[in-house]
Amino acid sequence: MGKYKGVPGFCKLATIEEIKKNGCVLTPGRYVGVKKEEDDGVPFKEKMKKLTGELKQYFGESKKLGKEIEENLKKLG
């Protein structure tokens, strides 16, 4: 067996000193941190524009489906 290694965003071996600094709180998020994401090379503004467009489409679909559900419920009485 190898030596234990922490995995950012998943697990970490916290020292007693770290736990004391955090007021003896054992919430994992205080120690584990977040996994470093790889850069996909797409500029933020471009990515945000694309994601915003997709979200607007989903909102439109949600409204359409909501209306269909309401009409079906009216038919059922």
Q: From the centroid of its chain, how far is CA 61?
A: 22
Which comes out higher in pLDDT, residue 30 or 71? 71
pLDDT digits (tens, 9 = 90+) for 26-69: 988 889 888 888 888 999 999 999 999 999 999 999 999 999 99
Which DSSP string corresponds to the chain?
Answer: ------BTTTB----HHHHHHTTT---THHHH--PPPPP-S--HHHHHHHHHHHHHHHHHHHHHHHHHHHHHHHHH-
Q: How confident is the model at residue 1 (pLDDT cuts 50, 70, 90)?
A: low
Average pLDDT of every residue of the chain:
92
pTM above 0.85, yes or no: no
Instruction: Domain ranges for the chain, please list them.
Output: 1-36, 38-77
